């Protein structure tokens, strides 16, 4: 949103499967994936947070994004990092403006060279969002991190870091 609203402040931009959910609504497949995401992740995690159960909220969110049972498979340091950042996640889940309106025209305002990163094994909704962003962004490169899902910086840090650092070096 900063790159959209203040393009003069951005020299380059790296986006690792950004949750630009409004773009999903523009296609039938994307709209169905968004509905599934809301019912399997947003609603259950929000309910847990409202009940004061932060760990359950984080678990439901992670499982809704990455697939049932995924939270339990995350390494303990990653689970700890998620819990360390629970206030941010709670704020997002309980926000009335969870998915600020964003259109392709908005995205076209981003003039900085942009790297879109996909995890090879990520949920389809993230690939669709990146597909749409790729069509809308005026200066875009795209990379796929092998053997990684949405937590690509954790699941394949070497490939992720090499990809990002090479992009930054070029821009």
pLDDT tens, position by position, 44-55 = 999 999 999 999
Q: How confident is the model at residue 1, as a pLDDT?
A: 84
Residue 94 pLDDT greater than 90, yes or no: no
Q: How confident is the model at residue 139, as a pLDDT?
A: 96
145 φ, ψ to 5°? -90, 115
Confidence of residue 95 (pLDDT cuts 50, 70, 90): confident
Q: How confident is the model at residue 171, as a pLDDT?
A: 95
Kindly state the percentage of the chain with pLDDT values over 90.
Answer: 80
Q: How confident is the model at residue 149, as a pLDDT?
A: 92
79 φ, ψ to 5°? -60, -40
- Tell me the pTM: 0.90
Q: How confident is the model at residue 124, as a pLDDT?
A: 94
| Lowest mean pLDDT segment, chosen from 99-103, 107-111, 121-125, 143-147 | 99-103
What value does the mean pLDDT take over residues 70-96?
89
> By C-alpha distance, which of 67, 85, 92 is closest to 150?
67
Report the distance separating Cα 99 and Cα 36, nearest Å. 15
DSSP assignment letter at 13? E
* C-alpha triplet 161, 167, 171: angle, nearest 5°: 140
CB atoms within 10 A of CB 48: 20
Kindly state the percentage of the chain with pLDDT values over 70.
Answer: 100
Report the distance separating Cα 67 and Cα 60, nearest Å. 10
Q: What is the pLDDT of residues 109-137, one digit of tens each?
A: 999 999 999 999 999 999 999 999 999 99
- Which of 66-70, 74-78, 110-114 has the highest mean predicted lDDT (pLDDT)? 110-114
* C-alpha triplet 34, 1, 37: angle, nearest 5°: 15
User: Residue 120: CB partners within 8 Å, gap ≥ 6?
Assistant: 144, 145, 146, 147, 148, 149
Q: How confident is the model at residue 93, as a pLDDT?
A: 82
> By C-alpha distance, which of 66, 67, 48 is closest to 57?
48
């Amino acid at each position: 949103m900063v790159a959209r609203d203040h393009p003069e402040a951005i020299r380059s931009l790296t986006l690792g499967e950004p949750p630009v959910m409004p773009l999903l609504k523009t296609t039938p497949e994307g709209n169905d994936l968004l509905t599934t995401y809301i019912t399997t992740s947003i609603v259950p995690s929000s309910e847990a947070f409202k009940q004061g159960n932060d760990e359950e909220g984080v678990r439901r969110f992670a499982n809704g994004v990455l697939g049932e049972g995924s939270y339990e498979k995350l390494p303990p340091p990653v689970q700890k990092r998620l819990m360390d950042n629970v206030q941010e996640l709670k704020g997002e889940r309980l926000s009335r403006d969870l998915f600020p309106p964003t259109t392709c025209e908005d995205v076209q305002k981003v003039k900085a060279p942009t790297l879109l990163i996909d995890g090879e094994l990520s949920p389809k909704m993230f690939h669709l969002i990146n597909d749409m962003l790729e069509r809308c962004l005026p200066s875009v490169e795209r990379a796929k991190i092998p053997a990684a899902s949405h937590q690509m910086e954790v699941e394949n840090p070497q490939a992720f870091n090499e990809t990002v650092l090479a992009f930054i070096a070029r821009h």
